[in-house]
Chain A
């Protein structure tokens, strides 16, 4: 299914995702298997997973996953967290020592809820308050990095091959209704734990394969709305755009897709007048969030997942369906390895999103 002949040329990244529409929970073994078969699409400089529905007992709390370079910055950062949040539980994230994963930082997890008085005084809504605190940690404390901040979900990532990263984080011990995975072949940033994917903010997580040509246009535009692109990765900027359009602008994921991978004018011109007016409106108003260049992305969010290709489909992406399960991956092999008997396999067209939700909920 690889159209660009990437099979023989190991470049680009690998993404994979699986989602139970019925909300059935399964553990992380399958997703590791899926991403592992695309080993050659990564180069050992980063891998990671996002898992949804994994913290049911703490589902009302924001789960912060944090990398610390040293105990000094951890102490400093925790003071900050204590000033802004009620921390109901904090612990080291359990890992398994394996030779493939080295130089790990201190990896800590906090379940938090904003301090009511602080939140009230900030005149912000709760999510915005959390976002600002996350940005503050990530920009103010050198050596501290919040890489996961959503509710009932978590990101697990590291420098290494993704399958090793999954085993390092003992992913088989987590049960969730949705997992996404990423194997990284970085070309434009050096490998760093924080720079591995998924990239997440609140419960939005993004895994991405590609190199977008609109990066600086997107970055400079989204930064106007209070986001800081500290990582300088495509994935980060896409995550912020999704957050902005969904959380702040209230666009649906279908609408977000028609901003990020907007239909061509030649397509819009053929639409019925009503639909055309709306499509034109989105392209006019949100033009600076159009993402060009090759990408395939999986966006995880609370209760759903969206897969999207760039409008020319310059990156491979395949979907498969069996019962209530949806599988989406860079290569069909990554789906077949975990579910050989698929009811349906298809390759979504460029710019056409695949949005799945729990029990057919809204997205």
Chain B
């Protein structure tokens, strides 16, 4: 190709007064941006290769590096942005579908940021979490209300199978394959220490991680990769993945080049074969088929484990959720359009689905209107970015939240959104052994534990401020929320009042 149409998105700026030529940047960049020029004795950078993952910036011992937005621009055009033009050049060059990773980064409204929380004043005392118990223990599962008593009249605890969480946060599904062994180990160990759950995604469960089964949710997705009896038996819960927020209606594709060694074994497919998860489950073409799969899995595990059905937040999510709540599922997981992914067609990721806040509000209200909210617990993800997002989600009606991107950030991810390239410099979204080892699970799991504990502290502070000392009193407590800058329709869907009302 004689003409280079592509303008680098970022520029590597090196402070010549601070660079000591240690070459750590060069050694740590899997994209080979940095190089040492023997003739000048100085470092050089190829901006075109930079994905702005910040690995070099983070490791530069003298703080000599900065990555800045490239000022170079095409002629300013409000309709044709630089980004769109470049995408056209790229597609004209390759003839292919544009690929992206992680969640939708486009400037759509973020409803969490337009919701404010309440606090107690005068009539109702706030509660100090440092002095009084502040409870975040959460149960996920059907709340079947059928009191049975033994001959002495004592209640027989006959609850449906459930998950018990010390705090209403879980790590969302990320497969071994899409993320590394070390990332999985970090998640598994953190979930175990935190008393919560992580989720295998559709990649099977590595032999080494069966020991964390009590804190593992195993996924059964459309490709059925890695599903076998032990896999189901080991887990605390089974998740049927119907959809993913980043790519609703789309399957998955892990190229054969990545299906090597342990990944091939864990997925139970031959080395080198493409792992293609079909867009739909080919045994589920309607809701009654879903019911059969739910009960197949329950039958297979002797009705001992809750079954989660995960769906992407799409336009008629409330009606779909209503169907699922009557399908025998114990938990519905809803993934918003901001949810992350290891690879998705850009156009799908950026244009399909709806915000999780609206989806959650609609689903919770719909299930209550139909009197079936207690049939299921609701878990939401995509994206809960901080403790207040989790808090607001619970007040809107969620039982717990899934965090994926936030967990990866704790492990070092800088959201360069290049997972699909497989060259993650942070050792997360890669299978290259030299890169995978960059994530030491001893460090990783502790950072995850710290993150979730920090959020839990914040959640407790906010609960205490409202005079609530147990998380179940926050769940669906929409009076504790007020909208700012939202229109009537948005407020109606969210089921909240405007600030000042």
A and B touch in the complex (CB under 8 A): yes
Which A residues fall within an 8 A CB radius of B? 4, 11-12, 187-188, 210-218, 220-221, 223-225, 249-251, 255, 262, 264-266, 274, 277-278, 280-288, 290-294, 311-312, 314
Q: Do B147 and A251 touch across chains, with their CB atoms under 8 A apart?
A: yes
Contact with A along B12-30 (1 / 0, CB 8 A): 0000000000000000000
Residues in B whose Cβ lies below 8 Å from that of A218: 473
B477 CB contact (under 8 Å) in A216, A251, A264, A314: A216
CB pairs A–B below 8 angstroms (5 shown): A220-B477, A285-B159, A286-B143, A292-B470, A294-B467
Within 8 Å of chain A (Cβ to Cβ): is B476? yes
Contact with A along B104-129 (1 / 0, CB 8 A): 00000000000000001011110100
Q: How far is the CB of B144 from chain A (nearest CB, A)?
A: 7
Q: How far is the CB of A260 from chain B (nearest CB, A)?
A: 11
Given A212-B124, A220-B478: 16 more A-B contacts, CB < 8 Å = A12-B123, A187-B123, A213-B120, A213-B466, A213-B473, A213-B480, A215-B479, A216-B477, A217-B475, A218-B473, A249-B145, A265-B137, A287-B472, A288-B143, A288-B476, A314-B125
Q: How far is the CA of A281 from the CA of B125 in the complex (A)?
A: 29
Q: How far is the CB of B73 from chain A (nearest CB, A)?
A: 50
Known A264-B133, A294-B124, A311-B469: A224·B374 in contact at CB below 8 Å: yes
Q: Do A215 and B137 touch across chains, with their CB atoms under 8 A apart?
A: no
Q: How far is the CA of A217 from the CA of B373 in the complex (A)?
A: 12
Q: Do A216 and B469 touch across chains, with their CB atoms under 8 A apart?
A: no
Residues in B whose Cβ lies below 8 Å from that of A280: 157
Interface of B is mostly: loop
Residues in B whose Cβ lies below 8 Å from that of A11: 122-123
Within 8 Å of chain A (Cβ to Cβ): is B261? no
Contact with A along B247-280 (1 / 0, CB 8 A): 0000000000000000000000000000000000
Known A216-B480, A264-B133, A284-B139: A225·B472 in contact at CB below 8 Å: no
A292 CB contact (under 8 Å) in B139, B144, B473: B473
A293 and chain B: residue at smallest CB distance:
B467
Within 8 Å of chain A (Cβ to Cβ): is B433? no
Within 8 Å of chain A (Cβ to Cβ): is B229? no
Residues in A whose Cβ lies below 8 Å from that of B475: 217, 287-288
Closest 5 A/B residue pairs (Cβ): A214-B473, A281-B157, A216-B479, A287-B472, A213-B467
Residues in A whose Cβ lies below 8 Å from that of B157: 277-278, 280-281
Q: Do A249 and B143 touch across chains, with their CB atoms under 8 A apart?
A: no
A362 and chain B: residue at smallest CB distance:
B153
Q: How far is the CA of A147 from the CA of B466 in the complex (A)?
A: 31
Q: How far is the CA of A112 from the CA of B184 in the complex (A)?
A: 67
A268 and chain B: residue at smallest CB distance:
B137
Q: How far is the CA of A70 from the CA of B152 in the complex (A)?
A: 53
Known A214-B477, A282-B155: A292·B468 in contact at CB below 8 Å: yes
Within 8 Å of chain A (Cβ to Cβ): is B132? yes
Q: Do A287 and B125 touch across chains, with their CB atoms under 8 A apart?
A: no
Q: How far is the CA of A210 from the CA of B133 in the complex (A)?
A: 20
Q: Do B468 and A214 touch across chains, with their CB atoms under 8 A apart?
A: yes
B465 and chain A: residue at smallest CB distance:
A213
Q: Do B468 and A213 touch across chains, with their CB atoms under 8 A apart?
A: yes
Q: Do B154 and A312 touch across chains, with their CB atoms under 8 A apart?
A: no
Q: How far is the CB of A184 from chain B (nearest CB, A)?
A: 13
Q: How far is the CA of A157 from the CA of B334 in the complex (A)?
A: 47
Within 8 Å of chain A (Cβ to Cβ): is B225? no
Q: Do B143 and A293 touch across chains, with their CB atoms under 8 A apart?
A: no
Contact with A along B57-101 (1 / 0, CB 8 A): 000000000000000000000000000000000000000000000
Within 8 Å of chain A (Cβ to Cβ): is B500? no
Q: Do A281 and B137 touch across chains, with their CB atoms under 8 A apart?
A: no
A284 and chain B: residue at smallest CB distance:
B139
Q: Do A250 and B147 touch across chains, with their CB atoms under 8 A apart?
A: yes
Q: How far is the CA of A293 from the CA of B118 in the complex (A)?
A: 14
Q: Do A278 and B155 touch across chains, with their CB atoms under 8 A apart?
A: yes
Residues in B whose Cβ lies below 8 Å from that of A282: 155
Q: Do B469 and A292 touch across chains, with their CB atoms under 8 A apart?
A: yes
Q: Do A288 and B133 touch across chains, with their CB atoms under 8 A apart?
A: no
Q: How far is the CA of A44 from the CA of B397 in the complex (A)?
A: 37
Q: Do A216 and B478 touch across chains, with their CB atoms under 8 A apart?
A: yes
A9 and chain B: residue at smallest CB distance:
B122
Within 8 Å of chain A (Cβ to Cβ): is B162? yes
Q: How far is the CB of A217 from chain B (nearest CB, A)?
A: 4
Residues in B whose Cβ lies below 8 Å from that of A278: 154-155, 157
Q: How far is the CB of B344 from chain A (nearest CB, A)?
A: 35
Q: Do B477 and A188 touch across chains, with their CB atoms under 8 A apart?
A: no
Q: Do B478 and A224 touch across chains, with their CB atoms under 8 A apart?
A: no
Q: How far is the CA of A274 from the CA of B133 in the complex (A)?
A: 23
Residues in B whose Cβ lies below 8 Å from that of A211: 123-124
Q: How far is the CA of A294 from the CA of B472 in the complex (A)?
A: 16
Interface core residue of B127, B147, B154 (most chain A CB under 10 Å): B147
Residues in B whose Cβ lies below 8 Å from that of A221: 368, 373, 476
Residues in A whose Cβ lies below 8 Å from that of B368: 220-221, 223-224
Within 8 Å of chain A (Cβ to Cβ): is B435? no
Q: Do B371 and A292 touch across chains, with their CB atoms under 8 A apart?
A: no
Interface core residue of B124, B132, B143, B371 (most chain A CB under 10 Å): B124
Q: How far is the CB of B136 from chain A (nearest CB, A)?
A: 10
Within 8 Å of chain A (Cβ to Cβ): is B358? no
Q: How far is the CA of A216 from the CA of B395 in the complex (A)?
A: 9
Q: Do A284 and B159 touch across chains, with their CB atoms under 8 A apart?
A: yes
Residues in B whose Cβ lies below 8 Å from that of A264: 133, 135
Known A264-B133, A278-B154, A314-B125: A217·B477 in contact at CB below 8 Å: yes
Q: Do B468 and A287 touch across chains, with their CB atoms under 8 A apart?
A: no
Residues in A whose Cβ lies below 8 Å from that of B170: none
Q: Do A224 and B371 touch across chains, with their CB atoms under 8 A apart?
A: yes
Q: How far is the CA of A12 from the CA of B122 in the complex (A)?
A: 10
Residues in B whose Cβ lies below 8 Å from that of A220: 368, 397, 476-478
Residues in B whose Cβ lies below 8 Å from that of A187: 123
Q: Do A224 and B123 touch across chains, with their CB atoms under 8 A apart?
A: no
